[in-house]
Amino acid sequence: MRFVQDIPHPQFRIGLYAWNGKYIVKIEAGPYEQTYKISEMDLTSAGDVPAMLDDAFLARVAQRFADMDTDWTATGERNDVL
């Protein structure tokens, strides 16, 4: 996997990678990570990716991270681990 660029964001760590004919967007928040794969054929260049990360998309990403945390905490409590 080849690193392409960091995409600055105040809340998340966002990295763009290229691998096997796809752009891979990794979004990290604390211990959680979301990964999105986009075919290079669907975009004209890697420069199109930051434009896709608009406010509406990133708001859903933030909600998904919150849901991931809720799920992780709940399973830890159910299983007396956390």
Side by side, the strands of the sheet bearing 2-7 are 2-7, 13-19, 22-29, 32-39
Report the C-alpha gap between 35 and 22 in whole angstroms.
Answer: 12
Give the pLDDT band (50/70/90) at residue 82: confident
The reported pLDDT for the residue numbered 17 is: 97
CA-based nearest residue to 14, from 41, 69, 52: 52
pLDDT by residue (tens digit) across 9-68? 999 999 999 999 999 999 999 999 999 999 999 999 889 999 999 999 999 999 999 999
- Cα 39 from chain centre: 16
- The pLDDT of residue 59 is 98
Question: What integer is the mean pLDDT of 2-13?
Answer: 96
Please state the domain extents for the chain.
Answer: 2-78
The distance of Cα 61 from the centroid of its chain, to the nearest Å, equals: 7
